[in-house]
Amino acid sequence: MKLIVGLGNPGKKYEENRHNIGFKIIDKVLEDNNFSGFKEKFQSHYSEGRIAGEKVALLKPQTYMNESGRAVNLAKAFYKIEPSSIFVFHDELDLAPGKLRTKFGGGHAGHNGLRSIQACLGTPDFNRIRCGIGHPGHKDRVHAYVLGDFSKAEKQEWVDNYVDTAARFIDLLLLGQEGDYMTRMAQHAPAPEPKTKEG
C-alpha cells in the first residue's frame, strides 16, 4: 500500500491558505479517482482506493500542521507501510510559485509539518512533493504569508490548474517515475512569469 499525505491545517478558516496546498491536492486526487468520501481515522480525514493498480490511502491530518507526524505515524503503523511508500505534498517557500520538485529524504528546512513527520517516523526517508508558493522576502513575514489566502488572481493564474495537474498525473509518482511527473507538471501547469517591479 502507498500512503499519500497532504499537509495543511483543518477548518474553514485555513482552507484557502498557501500552507494548505497539500490538502487541496489530496481533495482533487480523491475526486479524480472516485474514492469514497473522507472518513475520520488516524486523527485525519482518510480514504482509500486504487490508483494505477496500487492500493492507496489518502490522508489529510487534522492535528494542525505542527503535529502532522502523529497522524502519519498512526496510518503507517496500522498498515505496516514502509516510509519509502509515503508521499507527502507540502508547501515550499524555497520554490517559486507554481514550481514543483520531488525529493526523497533530506532535512525539513524549517517546515513544521515535515519536522513533525520526521520526528514521529524516526527517519527522514520518505518522499516529499515540494509545491512552490514563493517567499515573502523576509523571515519575519513568513508566518503571515503561509497562513494568508491565495488571491483570486493567483488561483486563476496558476493555483487551480496546478492542483488539477498534480492530481491528474499522480500515477507517475506511484510508479516511481518522478522525473516524468515533474515534466508533466512543467508542461501542463507552467509556473507563472515572475512579477517584475516597475520603476
Mind telling me the catalytic residues?
19
Measured distance CA(191)–CA(172) in Å, rounded:
20
Q: If DSSP states are collapsed to H, E and C, what string results for the chain?
A: CEEEEECCCCCHHHCCEHHHHHHHHHHHHHHHCCCCCCEEECCEEEEEEEECCEEEEEEEECCCHHHHHHHHHHHHHHHCCCHHHEEEEEEECCCCCCCEEEEECCCCCCCHHHHHHHHHHCCCCCEEEEEECCCCCCHHHHHHHHCCECCHHHHHHHHHHHHHHHHHCHHHHHCCCHHHHHHHHHHHCCCCCCCCCCC
